[in-house]
Structure formats: structure tokens, C-alpha cells
Amino acid sequence: MNAPRDTRDEAARWLAYAEEDLATARMIMDADGPLRQACTLAQQAAEKALKAALVIDNQDPPRSHNLGRILRLLSDDWSVKRLGLHLGVLSEWAVASRYPGDWEEPTRQEADEALEAAGRVLQSILDEFQDR
């Protein structure tokens, strides 16, 4: 028999990983490091934060990097759903920043925007975590 799922602890672990990814992305940016890596970590921070919210909603996170898809799975009462962020662009960094291909290297502005969007997603979910 499986032990009951402790969703708060599991979600807290997802959020801790998301915070670590975003902090590392910021360190890369501050050190003028590789923008691709900062974008990858920004995408990962947003993905992990959204998956934490799914865990809080007692859902198993899908094996997907598509942030829009993950966001749609959340219950409608999450404020992150009302931020109006275009997460499709951030989702693209899950692949475009990790693998060689026909895409352009990210600009500093694109990396800044990726970190900003990820930070807004993460903060929105952190703000609601304690009340759920």
C-alpha cells in the first residue's frame, strides 16, 4: 500500500527547485554569462512553479515543457492564470536554448524578458502557496 501523498511537502520541493533555477539564471545574467543558459533556467523556474501549483491542486504534473498547457491544467482560482503572460515564448526556451538548431541566440532583452516572466509566475504561486 502506498503512503498518502503529502502535497504540501512535494509542492514545496518543486518551489525550492524553481527558486534555485531562477536565482541561478539571475547569477548568470549578473556575470554576463551565456544567455542561453539563463533562458533555459528561467523556463525551468516557471515550469517547476506551475507544476508545484498542480501538485497543490492534487494533480500529477505532466511530462511537458509547454507552459501554456501546464497553466491550462490549473484550477481557475490561481492568480497566475490572470497575469496575462505570453508563456509560449518562454516555453520555446525549453528546447531552443538547450539544443543546436536553426534559431537565433537570445538577445539580452529576450533573456531579461524570460527572467521577468519566470519571476512573475514564481512569485504569483509563492504568494498563494501558504493560503492553500
Interatomic CA distance for residues 102 and 122, integer angstroms: 30
Q: What is the pLDDT of residue 96?
A: 79
Q: What is the pLDDT of residue 5?
A: 65
- pLDDT tens digit string along 42-80? 999 999 999 999 999 999 999 999 999 999 999 999 999
| Domain boundaries defined on the chain | 7-129
Burial code (b: 16+ CB inside 10 Å, e: under 16) for 54-80 equals bbbeeeebeeebebeebbebbeeebeb
Q: What is the pLDDT of residue 1?
A: 42
- What pLDDT tens digit does each residue of the chain (132 aa) get? 444 468 999 999 999 999 999 999 999 999 999 999 999 999 999 999 999 999 999 999 999 999 999 999 999 999 999 998 889 889 989 887 777 888 888 999 999 999 999 999 999 999 999 888
CATH 1.20.120.330 fits domain 7-129:
yes
Q: What is the pLDDT of residue 101?
A: 81
